[in-house]
A and B are shown apart, each in its own frame.
Chain A
Amino acid sequence: MAESYRRSSWKNMLFVAPYLTAFVTLLVFPLLWGMWLSLNKVDLFSGAKFVGLKNYARVLADPVFAQAVKNTALFVAVSVPSLVALGLFLALALNKTTRGSAFLRGLFFSSSILSVTIVTLIWRVVFIPGDGLLAVLFEAMGWTPIGFLSTKGWSLFSVGVATVWWCLGLPMMLFLAALQQIPADLYEAAALDNASKWRVLTRVTLPSIRSTIMMVAVIQIVMQFQLFGQAQLMTNGGPAGSSRPIVMYIYETSFVRWEIGMGAAASEILFAIILVAAMVQYWLSTRKEEA
């Protein structure tokens, strides 16, 4: 029995082979190749030349990279809590079986299926100076118009608004799924226990979905650190690099200046940042649970 099981076991590999092939060729191999590239000086003409950690030193010394890191960190620090809070709020408000809330759920989720080009197009219509929605509104109210896409500070903010609108669907759906897992009799027990709405929210609902809150936060940290398309299309990183994220720096270094080794080094640094941020978030929330 054990013998025949062992002999047949290599065949079991066949079941995972399709996925494993894709995983290795599309993820593991590029990851390792990227690491190797980051240790070489690579350009279009001369091929690779091993330079050790020199690329890392150059990236870390680059003030443009420092600015991109700062922009991205700020962006993540604001957009992720916004996404979690808004997603949670919408999920709590729409966790009903009425037709109206089903429609609104669909509506709020629908933005998620749009491509980044469409999303930025929509938000450019809102933010663009002159004929944009906000510009018209400001004019009608007699306020001084703001160049949302071309003013330092406002440009990153505008990218953030578009991003939150675009990405809100997934957190909301995950929270809704979690809310629906909470047994109804807990709420009945709480009603018999005279719990106020606030106490029900903080003592029953939120503790029941804390692992989902945690998961949504980690997913969003990982996703928002990779901000690129919206910034590229809405502000092109401007003005003066004030809305340039790390991925845009990587793109420009690798494919505009063709310093592929340096771009790879910046990628590895981004990889490390995301890993650390996600781990810290995970550690923080599990530690609280133990206590």
Chain B
Amino acid sequence: MSAAIEIQSVTKRYGALTVLDDISLTITPGEFVVFLGPSGCGKSTLLRMIAGLEAVDAGEIHLGGRRIDTLAPGQRGVAMVFQSYALYPHMTVAKNMAFGLENIGLEAAEITRRVTEAARVLEIDHLLDRKPAKLSGGQRQRVAIGRAIVKEPMAFLFDEPLSNLDAALRGRTRLELAQLHQRLGATMIFVTHDQVEAMTLADRIVIMNGRKIEQIGTPMDIYHRPKTRFVAEFVGSPAMSMLPVAAVTAESVEIAGLGRIAAQLPGLSGFDAAGAVLGVRAEDAHVLPADQSGLPFTISVVERLGDRTLLYGRLGTVCDLVVEDTGRSTAVAGQTVSVGFNPAALHLFDAAGRACDGLGG
């Protein structure tokens, strides 16, 4: 039942405001794709255009080889789970799930079979006769998912479905969604601004920002090989530190006002260091033993997480940096230590924010 989705040069405008500009994207059948980006970047708008709830101003959308952007929402073969669940408040859970099937004139026996089956899978059989007002947030969530499942759509669309759940339930539901995807094998698009949800659920992540797609890739791609400075800073916690760059060679980078550090940047030629920055993740920076020399780092906050310790502070007087240390770190705030970096895991970005080395490319 799964189908490919093809988004071709789609543009969306609200009056003079362009929200999405020439977006293209191909999703393979059965893939779990997550749209990730800051609030207001147009994730929901793109999803709603696929669902048919927003008009497409330019471009085309195809599902399973059929052009759908000109069809009514109900004709497209997609099911959507809303952030607010959007359950019909005056219908029982069973009626909520059956409504869409009744509308297409499916025979009663088949409707009952599908609703019962979905209720069993989602463990909501005992709630079928209740109205949504008598359900908890997590139960409503399940009903909303059930309402999507019974339609047996070619693609599922989720718009931040977990954001109204408490932390524990969110974690559990995330896991169940992953299992649901495995069992159904359906194409799924999931919108979120939460990078943990994106990293754990996605086959591929689509990072969006400012009307554009910044990068499309597997979670590991996105994390280890960010193509832009935005992606590098948006994904990962704590956020990647950015060090100002004065000059670059294939073997070293000179940090402005501090000195050279070793780096592996093969194939780098004619790089313009003006305005460039070097991105370093906390786990790729480390405190050096007293007998080795590195860059001076003054610790201002020590965050002990048990298995590891995060040191927040300033590198010389130049810029902020986060350094990861072991769980048994003896570092204290106010101390100045010297730090070194993993030369193979540095991310160089030019003034325009594009990744400029063998790693990020």
Once the chains are docked, how many angstroms separate the CA of A186 from the CA of B73? 14
The complex places the Cα of A208 from the Cα of B75 at a distance, in Å, of 26
A191 touches B90 (CB 8 A): no
CB nearest neighbor in B for A193 = B100
Bound together, the chains give a CA A186 to CA B7 distance in angstroms of 26
Closest A residue to B83 by CB, please name it: A185
- What distance in Å separates the Cβ of A269 from its nearest Cβ neighbour in chain B? 39
From known contacts A185-B82, A185-B84, infer whether A191 and B104 are also in contact, taking CB-CB under 8 Å: no
Residues of A within 8 A of B84 (CB): 183, 185
Count of chain B residues near A, Cβ 8 A: 23
Contacts of A204 in B (CB 8 A): 88
**B252 CB, nearest partner CB in chain A, Å:** 55
Docked CA distance A188–B74 (Å): 10
The answer to whether the Cβ of B335 comes within 8 Å of any Cβ in the partner chain is no
CB < 8 Å neighbour of A193 from B52, B74, B89, B90: B74
**B53 within 8 Å of A by Cβ?**
yes
B103 touches A194 (CB 8 A): yes
The reply to whether the CB of A199 lies closer than 8 angstroms to some CB of chain B is yes
B3 at the interface (CB under 8 A from A): no
Alpha-carbon distance A185/B88, docked complex (angstroms): 10
Is A192 within 8 A of B88, CB to CB? no
Main secondary structure, interface of A, reads helix
Q: Nearest CB to that of B153 among chain A residues?
A: A192
Q: Do A189 and B82 contact each other (CB < 8 Å), given the known contacts A204-B88, A207-B90?
A: yes
Output the nearest chain B residue to A188 by Cβ-Cβ distance. B53
Taking CB atoms, residues of chain B closer than 8 Å to A188 are: 51, 53, 73, 80, 82, 86
CA of A282 to CA of B115, assembled, Å: 35
- Closest CB in chain A relative to B205 CB, distance in Å: 25
Tell me the smallest distance from the CB of A191 to a CB of chain B, in Å: 4
Q: How far is the CA of A112 from the CA of B104 in the complex (A)?
A: 44
* Residues of A contacting B213 in the complex (Cβ-Cβ under 8 angstroms): none
Scoring A residues 180 to 215 as 1 if CB is less than 8 Å from chain B, else 0, what string do you get? 000101101111111110010001100110000000
Alpha-carbon distance A69/B149, docked complex (angstroms): 58
The residue from A185, A203, A208 contacting B99, defined by CB atoms under 8 A apart? A203
Q: A194: which B residues are within 8 A, CB to CB?
A: 74-75, 100, 103-104
The answer to whether B63 has its CB under 8 Å from any CB of chain A is no
Residues from chain A with a CB closer than 8 A to the CB of B79 are 192
Known A188-B53, A203-B91, A208-B90: A193·B99 in contact at CB below 8 Å:
yes
The interface residues of chain A lying within 8 Å CB-to-CB of B207 are none
Q: What sequence of 0s and 1s flags, for each residue 30-64 of chain B, a beta carbon within 8 Å of any chain A beta carbon?
A: 00000000000000000000011100000000000
Q: Does B78 contact A (CB under 8 A)?
A: yes
Contact assessment for A208 and B89 in the assembled complex, using a CB-CB cutoff below 8 Å: yes
A191 touches B72 (CB 8 A): yes
For A203, what are the chain B residues with a Cβ–Cβ distance below 8 Å?
88, 90-91, 99
List the B side residues contacting A193 at CB < 8 Å.
74, 99-100, 103, 147
The complex places the Cα of A208 from the Cα of B86 at a distance, in Å, of: 13
Residue of A nearest to B98 (CB): A193
Q: CA A199 – CA B99 in complex, angstroms?
A: 10
Q: In the bound complex, do residue A192 and residue B91 qualify as a contact, i.e. CB atoms below 8 Å apart?
A: no
Q: How many A-B residue pairs have CB under 8 A?
A: 61
CB B348 to nearest CB in A, in angstroms, measures 45
How many angstroms from the CA of A196 to the CA of B72 in the assembled complex?
Answer: 11
* Cβ contact of B80, chosen from A186, A192, A195, A208, cutoff 8 A: A192
Q: Are B86 and A183 in contact (CB under 8 A)?
A: yes
User: Given the complex, which residues of B lie within 8 Å of A192, measured CB to CB?
Assistant: 51-53, 73-74, 78-80, 100
How far, in Å, is B73 (CB) from chain A's closest CB?
4
The CA of A288 and the CA of B206, in the complex, are separated in Å by 50
Residue among A190, A207, A208 with the most chain B CB within 10 A?
A190
Q: For B103, give the chain A residue with the smallest CB separation.
A: A194
Kindly provide the distance from the CB of A230 to the nearest chain B CB, expressed in whole angstroms.
38
Among A190, A194, A204, A208, max chain B CB count under 10 A is at A194
Give the chain A neighbours of B74 by CB distance below 8 A. 191-195
Chain A min CB distance to B277 (Å)? 42
In Å, the complex CA distance between A50 and B318 comes to 100
Tell me the complex Cα distance, A207–B95, Å: 14
A185 to B103, CA, bound (A): 18
Per-residue CB contact flags for chain A residues 14-30 toward chain B (1 = under 8 Å, else 0) read 00000000000000000
B53 pairs with A196, CB closer than 8 A: no
Considering only CB atoms, which chain B residue lies closest to A185 in the complex?
B86
Among A193, A194, A195, A207, the one with the most B-chain Cβ atoms within 10 Å of its Cβ is: A193
B103 contact from A183, A186, A195, A207, Cβ within 8 A: A195
Closest partner residue, chain A, to B91 (CB atom): A203
Question: What residues of A have a CB within 8 angstroms of the CB of B86 in the complex?
Answer: 183, 185-186, 188-189
A207 to B51, CA, bound (A): 26
Q: Which of A185, A191, A207 contacts B73 (CB 8 A)?
A: A191
**How far is B78's CA from A191's CA once the two chains are assembled, in angstroms?**
11
| 8 Å CB contact of B88 from A186, A191, A196 | A186
Known: A189-B82, A192-B100, A207-B90. 9 other contacts (CB 8 A): A188-B80, A191-B73, A192-B51, A192-B80, A193-B100, A194-B103, A195-B100, A203-B90, A207-B89
Interface residues of A (CB under 8 A from B): 183, 185-186, 188-196, 199, 203-204, 207-208
A-B contact pairs, 16 of them (CB 8 A): A185-B84, A186-B89, A188-B80, A191-B52, A191-B72, A192-B52, A192-B74, A193-B103, A194-B75, A194-B100, A194-B104, A195-B99, A199-B103, A203-B88, A203-B99, A204-B88
In the complex, the 7 A-B pairs of residues with the closest C-beta atoms, listed nearest first? A194-B74, A193-B100, A207-B90, A185-B86, A189-B86, A194-B103, A191-B73
